[in-house]
Amino acid sequence: MSEVYDIIVVGGGPAGLSAGIYGARSRLKTVILQKGTLGGQAATTAELENYPGFPRGTTGPGLTEAMAEHAMSFGTEIINEEVVKLELDGNIKTARTKGGGEYSSKIIILAPGAAPRTLNVKGEQELRGKGVSYCATCDADFFEELDVVVVGNGDAAIEEAIYLTKFAETVTIIVIHDEGVLDCNKVSAEKA
């Protein structure tokens, strides 16, 4: 038997949590179906300096915790289940989860978020968690007084590199951009 909601949100990052807040605050029975870490990629970001309402910045985990608490204060349910199938035909939509859950609603909001981009180079997967990391916040302590290389060119890569300077002996940024330029906001580029 399917659990029936007014709104189903697929994804528990900042966009999904925002949808949960607005849905539940409107007194609509709202559920967020989240695979993995609540807060998504934002939850693994050490310092967020560009999020509205935080002029002095905040942390990813702090933002995630506050947003989840806010959503739940209005009655949003947050369930840690991976959606594997959506049935979108007809007036009633259904989300089926890997664990066998079935959730139905007239409205499904997709907020799947982001995932780290891999380089697909030899040894990358074998060394994941053994020197190859996609989360400076999670793993910075492991790089204490070591020489670190960050590969990327956007805001996330530059902000992670800046954060790592608090731990690593040196941080080198390898820019992967067709024109060899940093493709990030000017504030981060100046700090880098």
Per-residue tokens: 168? 């690593």
The CATH number of 3-110 is 3.50.50.60
The CATH number of 136-191 is 3.50.50.60
How much is the average pLDDT of 139-152? 91
Per-residue tokens: 5? 């909601």
Residues 141-144: contacts with CB within 8 Å, 24+ apart? Answer: 141/167, 143/167, 143/168, 144/168
Which sequence spans correspond to the domains of the chain?
3-110, 136-191
Whether 184 is a known active-site residue: answer: no
Tens digits of per-residue pLDDT, 80-97?
999 999 999 999 999 999
* Same fold for the pair 3-110 and 136-191: yes
Per-residue tokens: 54? 């935080």
Rounded Cα gap, residues 153 and 150, in angstroms: 9
* Contact between residue 109 and residue 8 where contact means Cβ atoms under 8 Å apart: yes
Residues 6+ apart with CB under 8 A from 180: none
184 has pLDDT over 70: yes
The residue behind tokens 């993995």 is 36
Which is the catalytic residue, given 6, 89, 135, 155? 135
pLDDT of residue 75: 98
Q: pLDDT band for 1, please (50, 70, 90 cuts).
A: low
Tens digits of per-residue pLDDT, 12-69?
999 999 999 999 999 999 999 999 889 987 887 777 777 888 899 888 889 999 999 9
Which is the catalytic residue, given 138, 147, 155, 183? 138
Which is the catalytic residue, given 6, 139, 155, 183? 139
Rounded Cα gap, residues 34 and 14, in angstroms: 12
* Contact between residue 105 and residue 5 where contact means Cβ atoms under 8 Å apart: yes
